[in-house]
Amino acid sequence: MRAPTSGPEVAAGDVLLSVENVSLSFGGVKAVTDVSFDIRKGEIRAIIGPNGAGKTSMLNVINGFYHPQKGRISFKGKTRSKMRPHEAAHGGIARTFQNVALFRGMTALDNIMAGRTLKMHRNFFWQLLRFGPALAEEVEHRHRVEEIIEFLEIQAIRRVQVGRLPYGLQKRVELGRALAMEPELLLLDEPMAGMNLEEKEDMSRFVLDVNNHYGTTIALIEHDMGVVMDLSDRVVVLDHGIKIADGTPDQVKSNQKVIDAYLGVAH
Amino acid sequence: MVPDAANKADTFPKLLMRNAKSFGDRPAMRHKDLGIWQTWTWAQVLTEVRAYAVGLHRLGLKHGDTIAIVGSNRPKLYWSVMAAQMLGAIPVPVYADAVADELAYVLAHAEVRFAAVEDQEQIDKIRSVSERLPKLERMIYDEKRGLRDYDHAQLTSIDDLIKESKDAMANDASLGAKLDAGIAAGKGIDPSIILYTSGTTGTSKGVVLTGKGSINAAADTVAFDKLNEMDEALAYLPLAWVGDHYLNYAQGLVSGFCTACPESAETAMSDLREIGPSFYFAPPRTLEQLLTRVTIRMEDASRVKRWLFNYFIGVARRYGESILNRKPTPLKGRLLYALGNVLVYAPLKNVLGLSRVRVAYTAGEAIGPDLFAFYRSLGLNLKQLYGQTEAFLYVTAQPDGEIYSDTVGPACPNVDIRIAESGEVLFKSPGMFTGYFKDDAKTAEAMTADGYVKTGDAGFFDEKTGHLKIIDRAKDVGKLNDGTLFPPKYIENKLKFYPNIREVVAYGDKHDFVTVMLNIDLTAVGSWAERNNVVYASYQELAGHPLVYDMMEKHVAEVNRSLASEKVMAGAQIKRFLVLHKELDPDDGELTRTQKVRRGFIAERYAPLIKAFYDGSKEADISTEVTFEDGRKGTIAARVKIRDMKPVPVPVTEKAA
């Protein structure tokens, strides 16, 4: 997969994105308070925490959807206090959503093609004409999309409207659309939520394959502890918007604060 | 013309060379890759396979070695078969969905040193049983995905192998010359392939077939059905099944037709539509599923469409078959049929991917007369054949114009059939096997003293048509305690012709009355449940639903009425039935890989249910072990209800036949 066009290259293992002292509140509600952590190039990074811990808010901050009141975010060495989602997308950040956000009336193929929009160089009118260079470009993009379809093993549903697909497959199409952007950083918001065991195993395999095959850095939010501990290289734990632990799955698992947050403390 | 040329070439590699010369620019193989059909001509296939063979030779594959082929229908696995045969090695295709244990049995029994496999899944499966395969040296794989971090000491990618060999052959001309000399020296009487039977009766046996026999048999049927290099077929049936090896591989090489491989097993239906094959084979089960799907979709269609469909299918049922058989048909019928063809039949065949089919066959199980007539009435030249692995498929086949739903046709060209006194069908054919691999005792058991092969099927020649009729497996025909004849399959098939019923197992031999276990068809019953607001959470719950039982009771009652109308079968009416809580599954050993029920095994596994059938219980508890797709095991427990049926009184006034 080609590297995104903008920004300097980051070597594997170096910090790709760092979050420094970020605080976010909605009116009087503090969603995230003074959180710092980093994501290194090529790793699978998990953000976990009990309900309402501020995980999705954190993801929305990274992705530029929310603007934190305090703190800074640097992506590939560039520091920004405010970033719009489309800038994040141009910069090489793609995401999936907790509740599937696909175009339900469109086929799986078209949904994934939509992920290529940012990579299209010909303008809208050229594409309407679908002729000459615009056609050549579409063929090229279609080829990349077909590679993703094969990668995710969804050939059989290529021409099926996503609204008619079972939930697990919709999630896979959504992952496909995010992959179509050829992101450098892929944000997955609860990729396994609501899935049965088999679907979870499939999804885990795809997440690992994406990381392994494309070298994509992945940050994911997940509730299923088994999945998180198996998949991720490093885990950051949030509770009530505060970072309570950060480290390898084993370190986090044995951290007393984490155990208390999940199981509660005797009073 | 084609068969003549085929007679000269007595091995498949020689045929491949002939094809590359005679119609080198014609497409030989297609495969849908990244959403686009890739095509190889015969000349290109020859180039690839030669390089592949040289590569295998350099890896150490020798004349007489065996090489396992594990995977779905992919050009590179077909090439593996061809490349091995070029070296005089013997390919042993194995069912791709076989669980690790079955796979280990076949690979160990065949003593394979090499295995050509599709992907990571098969490699993992074989690795998990590697301690049982001390002779296995190397695996060669098609799909690279997920294998990057594997230790490649014993793994080679087919692509890399072919590429390296091409380079080596460019540098050293003697490699190619040596290979060609080896092909020319290949003998038709040497084993060409070993096909393991699906294990309907116990463990699977390796059927050894020769190149010459295979080619002679294929040449006969290619001439019989006038196949040529302009035809096209879709290879979607298991690579390890004799049907695929015969219909696609052998007939393809003999006639030069193009074999297309689907993108994946799940896309076979849409690939069929895109390819539009002219030669088509489908087991009755597939045809049934297709029809069920059409029926379900029509039930959801608008009123006008539904009316059109029902009306013109009625027209087709009345006139279609006589038009197809070129029999005199009233003008009104012809006109209506022509109109129906424009409005319904042609679009329907197009949706099913059957528009261009010139010859279609079905075999493997008895086909429902209604189902058979349905496809024929649409103008599809669907015919029946009868055969088995030991014969290299064909024993009998129906010629164009002599089609009946309850016969399997007269003996094929050059096939000799005899009926034993026990009713068992015996045959001698050009393609017949030379023996079971490493099992002379079983080989002797399967043959008569004068060299006929015992099929194990009971049958007779129909006096009216001269065609063979198969009733059941010879050993399965039993008797009730009162002496009434009990052919289980006959009863099972009658029930299976209902779209709501997927599988049936009948019991009654050495008992007082007949009982059946039913499997619902989840697609059909699920759709019915949706339309009737029947709520269910699982297969098990739907299967045990009282309304589903009511529906099944109606079907069983209808079958009983039909049985009562037949003098011989009136005593074999179904007295009690139940709906099983789980689908019968080949992974649990309940069905064979070709989806035939293993009645004896099921009787043991569900012994509490059988006991409840005959001790009068209204329900019974059952707990069964199931094997998941990844090989792990679990248990399913259920309380299964049993329904009693009222026997239909046998009509007192008998009508003369």
Q: What's residue B637's pLDDT?
A: 86
pLDDT in tens, A130-183: 777 778 888 889 999 999 999 999 999 999 999 989 888 999 999 999 999 999
Q: B153 — contact with chain A (CB < 8 Å)?
A: no
- Residues B277 and B288 grouped into a single domain: no
Query: Is B262 inside a domain boundary?
Result: yes
Residues of chain A contacting B33 with CB distance shorter than 8 Å: 150
pLDDT for A5 beyond 50: no
A72 touches chain B (CB under 8 A): no
B316 in any annotated domain: yes
Q: Are residues B18 and B149 in the same domain?
A: yes
> Is some CB atom of chain A closer than 8 A to the CB atom of B38?
no
| Contact: B35, A149; criterion CB under 8 Å | yes
- Determine, for residues A209 and B146 on separate chains, whether the beta-carbon distance falls below 8 Å: yes
Q: Average of pLDDT values for A19-41?
A: 90
Average pLDDT on B157-179 reads 95
Domain boundary residue, one of B250, B281, B312: B281
Do the domain assignments include residue B426? yes
What's the distance, CA B221 to chain centroid?
Answer: 18
Which residues touch B223 (CB under 8 Å, ≥6 apart)? B2, B3, B413
- Domain boundary residue, one of B475, B497, B512: B475
Q: Residue B518 is encoded by which pair of tokens?
A: 């039913």
Residues 265-294 of B with CB under 8 A from A: 266-267, 270
What is the percent of chain A where pLDDT is above 90?
33
- Identity of the residue numbered B28: A
Residues of chain A with CATH 3.40.50.300: 1-92+184-267
- Please tell me the predicted confidence (pLDDT) of residue B167: 95
- Quote the CA–CA distance of B571 and B146 in Å, as a whole number: 59
pLDDT score for B329 = 87
Closest by alpha carbon to A76, among A238, A184, A157, A177?
A184
- Closest CA–CA distance from residue A146 to any residue of chain B (Å): 5
Examine the domain organization and report whether B186 and B147 are in the same domain: yes
Residue-level pLDDT at B203: 75
Q: Using one digit for the tens of pLDDT, what is the confidence trace for A219-266? A: 999 888 888 888 999 999 998 889 999 999 999 888 888 888 877 766
At residue B116, the pLDDT reads 97
In this complex, the residue of B33, B148, B264 whose CB is nearest that of residue A156 is: B264
Residue B161 C-beta-side C-alpha neighbours within 13 Å: 29
Q: How far is residue B324's CA from residue B312's CA, in Å, rounded to a whole number?
A: 16
Q: How far apart are CA B518 and CA A15, in angstroms?
A: 61
Residues of A in contact with B268 (CB under 8 A): none
B456 and B491 fall within a common domain: no
The CATH number given to whatever domain includes residue B611 is 3.30.300.30
Q: Is B537 on the interface with A (CB under 8 A)?
A: no
Are B329 and B455 members of one domain?
Answer: no
Chain A positions touching B148 (Cβ under 8 A) are 212-213
Instruction: Map tokens 């299964």 to a residue.
Output: B640
How far apart CA B192 and CA B210 sit, in angstroms, is: 5
Pairwise CB contact (< 8 Å): B148 & A209: no
| Residues B412 and B373 occupy one common structural domain | no
Partner residue opposite A156 with nearest CB, options B145, B149, B266? B266
| Burial class of residue B57, CB neighbours in 10 A (0-12, 13-18, 19+) | buried
What is residue A158's three-state secondary structure? coil
Residues of A in contact with B35 (CB under 8 A): 142, 146, 149, 155, 158
Report residue B61 as tokens. Answer: 């594959």
- In 3D, which of A81, A54, A95 has the Cα closest to residue A180? A95
CB distance from A69 to chain B under 8 Å? no
Residues B464 and B485 grouped into a single domain: no
Residue bearing the bigger pLDDT, A63 or A131: A63
Query: Do you know the residue count of chain A?
Result: 267
Rounded distance, CA B140 to CA B118, Å?
8
What's the pLDDT score for residue A100?
Answer: 80
- Please give the share of chain B, as a percent, with pLDDT higher than 90: 61
User: What mean pLDDT value characterizes chain B?
Assistant: 89
Confidence at residue B200, expressed as pLDDT on a 0 to 100 scale: 54
Q: Which residues of B touch A209 (CB under 8 A)?
A: 145-146
Using DSSP's 3-state secondary structure scheme, residue A91 falls into helix
Can you name the residues that pair with A70 across neighbouring β-strands?
A: A23
- Identify the CA nearest to B118 among candidates B137, B144, B141, B96: B141
The 10 Å Cβ neighbour count of residue B87 is 23
pLDDT of residue B4: 47
Instruction: Calculate mean pLDDT across residues B160-175.
Output: 95
Judgement on whether residues B69 and B174 belong to the same structural domain of the protein: yes
- pTM for the whole structure: 0.79
First vs last Cα of chain B: how many Å apart?
48
Q: How many angstroms separate the CA atoms of B535 and B583, rounded?
A: 19
Tell me the sheet residues that pair with A185.
A93, A217
**What was the pLDDT predicted at B307?**
94
Confirm or reject contact between A199 and chain B (CB < 8 A): no
Q: Indicate the number of domains in chain B.
A: 4
B32, B33, B34, B539, best to mutate vs chain A, most A CBs in 10 Å: B34
Rg of the Cα atoms in chain B: 26
Predicted confidence band at A81 (pLDDT cuts at 50, 70, 90)? low
Q: Using an 8 Å Cβ cutoff, are A22 and A70 in contact?
A: yes
Nearest to A155 among B145, B149, B263 (CB): B263
For residue A113, the surrounding DSSP H or E stretch is: helix A108-114
- Segments forming the whole domain that contains residue B465: 402-475
Chain A nearest-CA distance from B267, in A, is: 5
Query: Is the per-residue pLDDT at B494 higher than 90?
Result: no
The CATH number for B155's domain is 3.40.50.12780
**Which CATH architecture group holds A1-92+184-267?**
3-Layer(aba) Sandwich (3.40)
Domain end marker among B347, B380, B413: B380
Closest CA to B133 of B115, B150, B151, B147: B115
B263 touches chain A (CB under 8 A): yes
For Cα atoms B550, B552, B558, give the angle at the middle one, nearest 5 degrees: 105
CA of A185 to nearest chain B CA: how many angstroms apart? 21
Task: Note whether B357 and B414 are same-domain residues.
Answer: no
Q: Are A149 and B35 in contact (CB under 8 A)?
A: yes
Q: Which of B484, B491, B514 is nearest to B576 (CA)?
A: B514
The DSSP secondary-structure symbol of A93 reads E
pLDDT tens figures, B82-97: 999 999 999 999 999 8
The CA distance from B617 to B632, in Å, is 33
Q: Compute the count of residue pairs across chains A and B with CB atoms less than 8 Å apart.
A: 29
pLDDT tens sequence across B195-216: 998 765 567 899 999 999 999 9
**How much is the pLDDT for A6?**
47
Write out chain B residues lying below 8 Å of A143, CB-based: 34
Q: 10 Å Cβ neighbour count for B55?
A: 24
**Are B263 and B309 in the same domain?**
no
The residue behind tokens 């495969």 is B31
Reported as a single tens digit per residue, the pLDDT across B540-583 is: 999 999 999 999 999 999 999 877 876 666 788 999 999 999 88
- Chain A residues in contact with B270 by the CB 8 A cut-off are 156, 159
| Token duo for residue B454 | 């015992």
The CA–CA distances, whole Å, from B36 to A139, A147, A250, B232, B587 equal: 12, 11, 46, 17, 33
Q: Is A256 exposed, middle or buried (0-12, 13-18, 19+ CB in 10 A)?
A: exposed
Average pLDDT of chain A, as a whole number: 86
A18, containing H or E segment: strand A15-26
CA-CA distance, B173 to B169, in Å (whole number)?
6
Within-domain flag for B632: yes
Assign residue B466 a region: left if phi > 0, alpha if psi is -120 to 50, beta otherwise?
Answer: left
- In sequence order, the β-bridge partners of residue A238 are A243
Q: Which of A158, A212, A213 sits opposite B35 (nearest CB)?
A: A158
With respect to residue B387, please indicate whether it lies within any of the assigned structural domains. Answer: no
Contacts of A153 in chain B (CB under 8 A): 264
Locate the chain A residue with the closest alpha carbon to B147.
Answer: A213
Distances (CA, A) of B243 to B217, B265, B364, B533, B555: 13, 17, 10, 42, 33
Residues B73 and B90 in one domain: yes
Three-class secondary structure of residue B474 per DSSP: coil
pLDDT of residue B566: 62
- The tokens for B489 are 């399959």
Q: What pLDDT, on a 0 to 100 scale, did the predictor assign at position A4?
A: 44
- Across the strands, what pairs with A22? A35
Note whether residue B25 is domain-resident.
yes
pLDDT score at B202: 63
Residue A168 — φ and ψ, nearest 5°?
Answer: -60, -40
Please indicate, yes or no, whether residues B129 and B222 belong to a single structural domain of this protein.
yes
Minimal CA separation from B35 to chain A, in Å:
6
On whether ipTM exceeds 0.90, the answer is no
Minimum-distance CB partner of A155 among B146, B149, B267: B267
- pLDDT of residue B10 exceeding 60: yes
Residue B233 phi/psi, 5° resolution?
A: -135, 155
Q: B36 vs A146: CB contact, 8 Å cut-off?
A: yes
Subunit contact A155:B266, Cβ cutoff 8 A:
yes
Instruction: Go through B138-171 and write b for each residue having 16 or more CB atoms within 10 A of its CB, e for each that does not.
Output: bbbbbbeebeeeeeeeeebbbeebbebbbeebee
